[in-house]
Structure 1
Amino acid sequence: MSEDNANQVENKNAMADALNSVHEVKVGDIVKGEVLAIDDDKQLIVGIQGTGVEGVVPIKELASQPVSDINAVAKVGDVLDLVVISTIGKDKENGSYLLSKRRLEARKVWAKIQDKFNAGENITAPVTQVVKGGLVVDAGVRGFIPASMIEDHFVEDLSAYKGKTLELKIIEIEPSENRLILSHRAIVEAQKAEQWQHVLATLKAGDTVEGTIARLTSFGAFVDLGGIDGLVHVSEISFERVEKPSDVLKVGEKIKVKVLSVDPERERISLSIKATLPEPWTDIEEKAPVGSTLEGKVKRLTTFGAFVEVFPGVEGLVHISQISHQHIATPNEVLSEGQDIKVKVLSVNPEAHRLALSIKALTPKPDGDENRSASKSETSNYQNNHSNYQDDDDEGGFTLGDIVGNELKHSTDQDKK
């Protein structure tokens, strides 16, 4: 064979090898693309290795997160792993292909998430958006947490979750539809189940512990005892009457509480702040000795008198006969709830938690017998109409003798003289 013929055969073989090395590009193929140019900072022009054709990668297809500067993520000469999305134009031989780096990375992420789902493992992801009905997270792909799957209780304002990274259980995964449903509630419930076992082993009624105010409601305060919440009912916040827990407590505040009860079956812990405070009736005979004058606030008005708070959690009764020297039909003729007044202590009964008070004793007596006669008549009428009065539960348990008191007896004796 001549030298020329040998060269021709060699050239033909080289061309055949070159042609054989060129692969047809199909949608869905994973290819390597060398960055040939950056077009107007909006897309990359790449050469698809082993094909002899070019493709484009739009800026939005470079990463899962928005890219503001294309030059920060790619430069001429870089070789990228890409997936073929579609063809551009009709010239398949020399035409371009639409390529994506983002979707190839998403494929890998979906595969990893699928593996975790199959293995029963959890994932962590930051919350990127608060939308109607729940939270959007970035798990490498878009994930969604329905509002009912965020916590084990209702959450009114979801905005506090934005930017937080949450541990999540995979509830549903469908890569072909880009659907990933996640739950943080499942994580919370699993953690609480474990924490409950610890609580049951260490916490018992009568214990005094420290906690943090986690939530406030109209009926009380939920206190975090270390992953488990206990409830302080509004009636157990203070010896004083509390209208709204938010009036006296703040979320995040650390407080001491006494454990009233632990109910494992219902998973409820009842707590009290009030039980950790000094009993308001302690040393009441020293704080409110008979004959002393105190400042108080009218808390309640009844047909027979006014209940006046003289210390936090300590109320005494001003019987209607001890309100004024003048005859009055009802206490609200001269008093109103919330009014600040001065009272004189007529009697003290620490065991029964009773104070007999008087407003009349601090005001001068009017001149004339008519008023004294009215006072005597008023006492007689009260004794006739209320001789069996006793309401221990609703009105402090004052009996007839407690209500009228020694002061009234003294006044009657003076009238007889």
Structure 2
Amino acid sequence: MASLAHNLSAICYSPLSSRPTLIHSHKQRRTSIVCSSVAISSAQNKERIKLKELFEDAYERCRTAPMEGVSFTLENFTDALEKYDFDAEVGTKVKGTIFGTDAGGAYVDITAKSTAYLPLQEACIHRIKYVHEAGIVSGVREEFVIIGEIEADDSLILSLKSIQYDLCWERCRQLQAEDVVVKGKIVGANKGGLVAEVEGLKGFVPFSQISAKSTEEELLEKDLPLKFVEVDVEQSRLILSHRKAAADSHGQLGIGSVVTGTVQSLKPYGAFIDIGGMSGLLHISQISHDRITDIATALQPGDTLKIAMASLAHNLSAICYSPLSSRPTLIHSHKQRRTSIVCSSVAISSAQNKERIKLKELFEDAYERCRTAPMEGVSFTLENFTDALEKYDFDAEVGTKVKGTIFGTDAGGAYVDITAKSTAYLPLQEACIHRIKYVHEAGIVSGVREEFVIIGEIEADDSLILSLKSIQYDLCWERCRQLQAEDVVVKGKIVGANKGGLVAEVEGLKGFVPFSQISAKSTEEELLEKDLPLKFVEVDVEQSRLILSHRKAAADSHGQLGIGSVVTGTVQSLKPYGAFIDIGGMSGLLHISQISHDRITDIATALQPGDTLKVMILSHDRERGRVSLSTKKLEPTPGDMIRNPKLVFEKAEEMAQTFRQRIAQAEAMARADMLRFQPESGLTLSGDGILGPLTSDLPAEGLNLSEVPLAQDS
């Protein structure tokens, strides 16, 4: 065949035949003959016949004796597999080549006995729909880590994501060591701060480490300059700081540098000024030399002003009244609506001027001494200061309780002075056991003094993280233990439900009320957000286990019910063994044997759910919250409950009175029997059947017990 044309017919030569072959085209318009030669020489024909014989001979040997003359046996092949096999334990790193992909992942050749599979979710640290989005295509060779095995076919499950995570953590450690500013994309937020994606990992930026004045919503999906505060691979803990990165961008600012800023917010103690993304405090004492009692008279949020750097702690000082000048201070606002003059007087008397000159000389002398001999004449040395710090410092271990005073708040929490070397911070979520949006909702305002517990430390500046919630939890558990000991009924709000019962909030804690301990006939949905009377069944602080009972509380409210009392109830449900009756929120059992003196085989013939009837209390187990009921004892004649229940209910009080009299007579007889058999007890029996101590007016011959009347049926 010399060439091939589409839609053509060709005469091709068969290797074992000298006849030309005709290939027909479906288009019958033309027929092309494409061949180099039709005539085949005799020598070529003999060569082809010889090759045919060799092929047939080889085929026969492969069919009858395939391993004859072969030095590489099946055992050699098995040995080679063992020799080049490797440890397939989870966590082992292997190199492999992609040789196929599907919708769920990729197939990898790792030169092992069996193939390996890379699932889609393990192909990349980012979310992808198809493996080719992560560059996973046939022919690509990568290093993987074994994360599992499919037992059905002994194939291995690989991960590329784990390798990438290790590289990302190593990169973050390196960047932290180099103290580099990186760009992080804000992808989420919670009560404590923002979630940022940096170098393929998600890190946490506490609100206390955010300098931007934007809200959480405005920062979402935005890029922020960040610095690493903590990179802990073991705990998968990545803490970032925008404040540190912003401070770097303002690193050129030194003491005395003048910058332009905007008033963010006003506090009683000063104003927070935004200077290009970083927040600084302009204390009320640094606004002017003249005393300011109300900061709002000098500044308003949104005002733009020039300020001077007063310290490396980012406190700011307004360019204002000079201590060595008699000119008044003007704090200029870029809002041209107003210009506030902050001074006490414009006119300066001669005496005042002399006083100022004297103060100036004192200041210059003090400045010179501080510059040349700062410690001269100072009895309190640096060593004294260090000793004082050590003396008044305290154990800052996690779990230690300390007292502190709130001196400032922000959106994320509150700053606390605990008289330590460094300040402390109370996050919003640790300020109260209830959910709050702002710390002032929990009474956390400047000047408040409380006891806190240390729950952590910010390594970047050695500041402590405090909790008020932990203290409150301890008090709540102690309160619950006390109420359980006093067997008190408390009000609990139903805030949730599950398969086993209801969840109630009591004394600031969430407790569990099993369905078996609920007497109310309402459904779960009806009880939600309602208050229920409850009693404590179990208070276990160690296991954080708080079990409550509505049944016990309801039993207390029915404490006045005694044996023989008649109450009105409603049939709740029927069971083969009896009916459950609701008696004012408490459930009691009317056993089938206590409905009537006549035998009842099917309870549905006598009662139906919703029926209202009068029942008598037979027994009341307050501890277990169980009440046994009877209508049988109220029947004037046996069988009336089935034949004429209306008559039973009309005569209920009368029959109950008779029943109670019989009980009283039985008790009197029991007391009399006790006295008859135990005369040495020193007790006497009153006419009402009540036991009491012997009195001096008894006859000398003793008590004649034979005169005690026998109980009579009425």
User: What's the TM-score once normalised by structure 2's chain length?
Assistant: 0.30
Larger RCO (CA within 8 A; separation ≥ 6):
1
Larger C-alpha radius of gyration, 1 or 2?
A: 2
